[in-house]
């Protein structure tokens, strides 16, 4: 398989958000000092300086797309994840996982990280362990419930607890209602955002159409990850996340944010009632989808919510150009070709699917991502989950 492996996150400053999205990657030997200079003092740069920094970062795009071929597993059968990272600020990295490089099979193939859809527990565990090894960080995962609740992970995180507070789909999982277990089983915490000031902990958000939003105040050393589905956005999850960041010392004037892969407004069909209610809360998010019916644009709603929470539009960054480059690079990837032949979620030819992508960050359109809606259209009962993560080293 020709692919990309994030054994060390590539140091790439994100670019100002164009519309809605982030990401890209591959480990190479590059001049780290030059890259760090390109991301220093993002909030204080003039527009001209930011343009110069973006141009400097763009010089490294070709290097990131390493052409070396890798296998989906190592010699011992351990997964080799294909991930797409960006550097949001010095020592703060955002990472998006893809479907490639994992141990899962069938409807969850290959790099499924979610444990609630029926995948083999050993496969989920192997995939999560492989990701933690790639990131050189412990994973902090919570039980997402489409709420507006943000969790202060610093008050609850235990370094010896596998995967933070959601070991779902692994042999260590406890029943979901076993919330305050003290008998050695895994504690489950419900919420839809995490906030932390710790280093070496990757805050993760599961997604397969819902929108991950990753945030950081590099001055205060506060990071956050929010799961922003339609319901969570309506419940104010972004506002709750920013408020908790502020309580831990963050200044909205310093907060940087980026939006992860999610279903786009052209594909998220909801029906009139839901679309009207969502548009009333976030004016201008009503869409007419490619399928002919009414829908919503959750990316646009998230941008509105971020600005309402005090995050400057100039601090909302996109890595969509890098995702475009990663998608183009993987357009002939053997593993991705196999997935397209076998998943029954669209044209069996990878090149045909790539040809029809209009938004590389759209989970329904791009075969790199898992998509609940795409699986539904294919009359499938299950699908995998990606993780969008943020870590401070």
Q: List, for residues 318-351, the tens digit of each pLDDT value.
A: 979 888 888 998 999 999 999 999 999 999 999 9
- Among positive and negative, which fits the CA dihedral 296, 376, 143, 180? positive
**Cβ(392)–Cβ(135) under 8 Å?**
no
- What average pLDDT score do residues 166-172 get? 64
- What average pLDDT score do residues 226-255 get? 99
Instruction: Put residue 379 in one of left, alpha, beta given phi > 0 → left and psi -120 to 50 → alpha.
Output: left
Cα 253 to its chain centre, rounded Å, is: 23
31-53 residue pLDDT tens? 334 434 443 444 444 444 445 54
pLDDT at 169 over 80: no
Out of 71-75, 138-142, 252-256, least confident range? 71-75
pLDDT at 241 over 90: yes
Distances (CA, A) of 211 to 110, 171, 238, 262, 361: 21, 28, 11, 5, 10
- Cα angle 204, 208, 210; round to 5: 80
Out of 144-158, 262-276, 303-317, least confident range? 144-158
The pLDDT score that the predictor gives to residue 43 is 41
The pLDDT score that the predictor gives to residue 15 is 53
Judged on CB neighbours under 10 Å (0-12, 13-18, 19+), 340 is: buried
Averaged pLDDT score across all residues of the chain: 83
Cα 278 from Cα 301, distance rounded (Å):
9
Bond prior to 126 in cis (omega within 30° of 0)? no
pLDDT at 237 over 60: yes
- What average pLDDT score do residues 295-299 get? 99
pLDDT at 389 over 80: yes
Maximum average pLDDT range among 48-62, 174-188, 259-273: 259-273
294 closest CA partner among 255, 267, 260: 267
Query: How many residues are given for the chain?
Result: 393
- What average pLDDT score do residues 93-100 get? 97
Helix (H) or strand (E) holding 304: helix 298-308
Out of 69-78, 164-173, 181-190, least confident range? 181-190
Coil, helix or strand at residue 89: strand
Domains of the chain: residue spans and CATH: 15-263+317-392 (3.60.140.10)
**Cβ(338)–Cβ(330) under 8 Å?**
no
Cα 208 from Cα 369, distance rounded (Å):
7
Query: What is the per-residue burial (b if ≥16 Cβ within 10 Å, else e) of 182-194?
Result: eeeebbbbebbbb
pTM of the model: 0.82
Band (273; pLDDT cuts 50, 70, 90): very high
Out of 52-61, 241-250, 253-262, 286-295, least confident range? 52-61
- Give me the sheet containing 256-259, strands edge to edge: 15-16, 316-318, 256-259, 211-217, 222-228, 193-196, 150-152
Q: N- to C-terminal Cα distance for the chain? A: 30
The pLDDT score that the predictor gives to residue 339 is 97
Query: What is the per-residue burial (b if ≥16 Cβ within 10 Å, else e) of 269-296?
Result: bbeeebbeebbeebeebbbebeeeebbb
Residue 66 or 29, more confident: 66
- What average pLDDT score do residues 182-211 get? 86
103-161 residue pLDDT tens? 999 999 999 999 888 899 999 999 999 999 999 999 999 999 999 999 999 988 776 66
Maximum average pLDDT range among 3-17, 187-201, 206-220: 206-220
Cα 104 from Cα 384, distance rounded (Å):
9
The pLDDT score that the predictor gives to residue 17 is 55
Cα 353 from Cα 322, distance rounded (Å):
19
């Amino acid at each position: 398989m020709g692919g990309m492996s994030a054994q060390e996150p590539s140091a790439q400053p994100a670019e100002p958000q164009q519309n809605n999205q982030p990401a890209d990657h591959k480990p190479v030997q590059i001049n780290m000092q030059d890259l760090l200079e390109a991301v220093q003092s993002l909030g204080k740069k003039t527009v001209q300086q930011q343009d110069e920094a973006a141009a400097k970062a763009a010089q490294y795009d070709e290097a990131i797309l390493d052409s070396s071929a890798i296998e989906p597993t190592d010699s011992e059968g351990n997964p080799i994840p294909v991930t797409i990272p960006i550097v949001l600020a010095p020592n703060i990295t955002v990472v998006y996982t893809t479907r490639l490089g994992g141990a899962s099979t069938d409807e969850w193939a290959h790099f499924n990280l979610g444990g609630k859809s029926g995948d083999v527990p050993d496969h989920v565990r192997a995939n999560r362990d492989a990701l933690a090894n790639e990131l050189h960080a412990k994973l902090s995962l919570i039980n997402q419930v489409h709420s507006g609740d943000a969790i202060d992970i610093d008050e609850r995180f235990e370094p010896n607890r596998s995967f933070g507070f959601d070991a779902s789909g692994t042999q260590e999982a406890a029943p979901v209602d076993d919330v305050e277990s003290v008998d050695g089983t895994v504690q489950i915490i419900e919420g839809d955002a995490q906030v932390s000031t710790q280093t070496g902990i990757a805050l993760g958000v599961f997604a397969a159409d819902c929108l991950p939003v990753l945030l950081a105040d590099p001055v205060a050393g506060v990071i956050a990850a929010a799961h922003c589905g339609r319901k969570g956005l309506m419940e104010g999850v972004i506002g709750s996340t920013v408020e908790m960041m502020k309580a831990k010392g963050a200044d909205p004037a310093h907060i940087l944010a980026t939006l992860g892969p999610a279903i786009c407004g052209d594909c998220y069909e909801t029906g009139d009632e839901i679309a009207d209610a969502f548009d009333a809360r976030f004016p201008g998010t009503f869409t007419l989808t490619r399928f002919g019916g009414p829908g919503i644009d959750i990316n646009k709603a998230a941008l509105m919510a971020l600005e309402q929470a005090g995050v400057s539009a100039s601090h909302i960054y996109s890595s969509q150009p890098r995702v475009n480059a990663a998608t183009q690079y993987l357009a002939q990837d053997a593993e991705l070709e196999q997935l397209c032949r076998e998943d029954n979620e669209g044209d069996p030819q990878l090149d045909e699917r790539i040809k029809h992508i209009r938004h590389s960050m759209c989970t329904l359109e791009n075969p790199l991502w898992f998509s609940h809606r795409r699986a539904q259209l294919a009359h499938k009962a299950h699908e995998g989950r990606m993780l969008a993560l943020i870590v401070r080293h």
